[in-house]
Amino acid sequence: MSDILVPALTLSIVLLVIHSYFGIEIIKRGIIFTDLSIGQMAAAGAAVSLFFFEGQYRYLISLSFALITAILIAFATKKEKVSAEGFIGLIYALGISLIFIIMSKSPHGLEELNNLLAYDILFVNMTEVYKTAILYTVLGLFLFAINRFTAGFIKEMLFFSIFSITITSSVSLAGVFVVFSLLIAPAFTVMQFFSKNLIIYAVILGSLINLLAVYVSYNFDLPTGYTIVFIQTFSAILSSIISFLRRSQ
């Protein structure tokens, strides 16, 4: 049992560390669905790779789709006459429709589609976890340098570029919906109750919820990815209701 659960739980913690930072930043910017749109386009790139190139160049194509999306979103957020959320929503619809169109022509379309949306992280191995941890450490150092030495539009472009690299890597391991839930749900929850050390609280909370989700999925034979999405999002919604009730008293 530990051979299966330990890599999955370790991966979820690795994902949470960097995604908690991005989640807090995305919520502050008021462009919540940025992650979902970039992730969806990264998945669309993976679908293109699977169908047209038999999975070759998957990461490169996915990253290209994600980077183009990130650049477009960076420009959209700077245009006063353009609704950033509306533009981001259109990109999401474009990405998911492209995935369904391509996968409808694939002999294993349904299985591949499920993996793109919510992969079963119980099947991840520690080698992939180590590689991801190293990559995210490097990206974290770049984020630190960007925040310290850049400003304005250059800072936004670099932020979204690193964001797209992170999302592309995460989607290939966990799927679009899992990545979105890990990025938004813990950050959304802790921001309602705390004002300092948000990343630390988000990682701790997200890890505990992931532990519960993986345990439930393993013991009740449920799809791990969708179980994580459900419990993470349910917990965030519940916390929002609790926060509202507290303010109403």
Contact present, 206 and 16 (Cβ < 8 Å): yes
Local structure of 106: helix, strand or coil = coil
Task: Measure the N-to-C terminal CA separation of the chain; round to a whole number of Å.
Answer: 46
Structure tokens at 238: 């519940």
What's the pLDDT tens digit per position in 164-176? 999 999 988 888 8
| C-alpha distances out from residue 21 to 40, 125, 127, 186, 188, Å | 20, 25, 24, 10, 11
- What are the structural domains, with CATH classification, of the chain? 2-248 (1.10.3470.10)
Contact present, 122 and 220 (Cβ < 8 Å): no
Residue 80: its pLDDT value, please?
A: 60
Residue 110: its pLDDT value, please?
A: 66
- Helix ranges, the chain (H): 2-29, 34-52, 58-76, 84-103, 109-117, 126-149, 152-174, 176-190, 198-219, 224-248
Contact present, 131 and 11 (Cβ < 8 Å): no
Per-10-residue mean pLDDT for the chain, 249 residues long? Answer: 75 89 88 84 90 87 92 76 77 89 77 75 84 92 90 85 91 88 94 91 93 89 90 94 81
Residue 165: its pLDDT value, please?
A: 92
What's the pLDDT tens digit per position in 88-123? 888 989 998 998 898 888 776 667 777 777 877 777
- Rounded Cα distance between 117 and 159, Å, is 24
